[in-house]
Structure 1
């Protein structure tokens, strides 16, 4: 499989190593200022770029018939436009706020717990995420996905807010940026008598990178449409 890496930061470099170890060729390595390249030399593209570049990268792939996997967060105000273009071009697209197998299991666990807690109004939910100091967006895309999972499965909440919630129906997300932390996410339900906490801790970036390559392998096999990691992993 010939892979184009759109974004060649730490994640892009980790993805390159894993892709090569799995027998693939990295035919393009595009950094943020690169614009003169032919995306059609690739069988599939993996985008871990910047929020300002992601939508342009994705549309370039879709306009040229190249399946694209994106893990860039912070650009989702244009997500619906990307979906519409994918359908118009009969293309193939996967976006995930997190490609880690463990995190995607955690997403599903979060939904189950949120549903179980729906009738227990004495518990208040809070969330915390910790990432490295070079992460640009806050809260993380993973934290937003977790908050949306609670909102979809627990009628006590209808919104999330960064740091401090201004209403009882809003979930506060505390975002911390510390050192070189790959990613820690926790959801806490607390009452006056006890607390229930679930947490996912990434020890390194390998899980994110491997999941992105696995998604690219899956998407490149004559797929058309818009998919998620649930489709890739059969969750």
Structure 2
């Protein structure tokens, strides 16, 4: 499969190295901030799928170009969720395929399932307070992370007392606090803790490297090659597990 990459930061370079090492696919175009005009090049158009790990303010404009050329688009960029309805409409309008995720690690997507299960168990356990902690490298621009927001929204959907999440501490029992930590060299860690005066229940996912994120985005591209529709990677993982 011929793949085009949009974004050549940590994730773009990791995807490139995995594809070169495995020889299963070919990267035909890499778009960075230095060659944005190449989105219109014949080389870019020759790709069978496009993986985007760029900037949140570029997601919609990138999608317009990719979907107009009937290419499946895999979006790993975070921080653009306020535009998700617009992107879905764009996908439907072009009869295209988009797979998006706050995190393309299959381990994290299993962690999402654990979070849902635990949140359902704790629905009526009001003696427990809840908090989310996320830790990433100091270069990460968005806080809280997209993964933390996904975890928070899932908990909010199952705990009727919560009305929203907040970034940082909160004295309001109707707000779910997310604490963002930035440490040099950290890859990614997320934990959910339920605390009472007597004990703590917690679950945690810690990434040791970015390989699983990159492999997940490639898996999504392979799956999307003949598909139409707007999918979260979590949906894709569940469909693959059922097949």
Is the shorter-chain TM-score for this pair beyond 0.5, marking a shared fold?
yes
The CA distance in 2 between the partners of 1:182 and 1:172, in whole Å, is 22
What is the rounded CA distance, in whole Å, between the counterparts of 1:6 and 1:35 in structure 2?
9
* Structure 2 gap ranges (5+): none
SS of the residue corresponding to residue 54 of structure 1 reads helix
Contact 1:32-1:50 within 8 A present in 2 as well? no
Equivalence for 1:89: 94
Question: For 2:47 and 2:176, how far apart are their aligned partners in 1?
Answer: 42
Summarize the alignment of residues 48-87 of structure 1 with structure 2, pairs less than 5 Å apart. Answer: 48-87=53-92
**Can you give the 5+ residue segments of structure 1 that lack an aligned partner in the other structure?**
none
* Cα distance, 1:14 vs structure 2: 0.5
Q: Is the contact made by 1:32 and 1:53 (CA closer than 8 Å) also made in structure 2?
A: no
1:120-135 counterparts in 2 under 5 A?
Answer: 120-135=125-140
* Aligned position for 1:12: 12
What is aligned with 2:33? Answer: 32
TM superposition score normalised by structure 1 = 0.96
1:168, CA displacement in angstroms?
0.4
> Normalising by structure 2, what TM-score?
0.93
1:232 and 2:236 correspond: yes
Cα displacement (A) at 1:233: 1.5
Residue aligning to 1:178: 183
Contact 1:15 1:210 in 2 (8 A): yes
Answer whether contact 2:166 2:177 (CA < 8 A) is retained.
yes
CA contact (8 A) 2:101 2:234 kept: no
Take 1:106 and 1:17, find their aligned partners in 2: how far apart are those partners? 26
- CA deviation string 1:134-190 (max 9, x = no partner): 000000000000001101122222210001224101110000110111100000000
Q: Identify which of 144, 148, 158 aligns with 1:139.
A: 144
Q: Deviations over 1:186-232 (max 9, x none)?
A: 00000011110100000000010000100111011x10001122232
1:9 Cα shift? 0.8
**By how many angstroms is 1:22 displaced?**
4.8
Equivalent residue runs for 1:164-175 within 5 Å: 164-175=169-180
The count of residues paired between Structure 1 and Structure 2 equals: 234
Equivalent in the alignment of 2:124: 119
Superposed displacement of residue 54, structure 1: 2.1
Deviation at 1:55, TM superposition (A): 2.1
1:45 aligns with 2:46: no
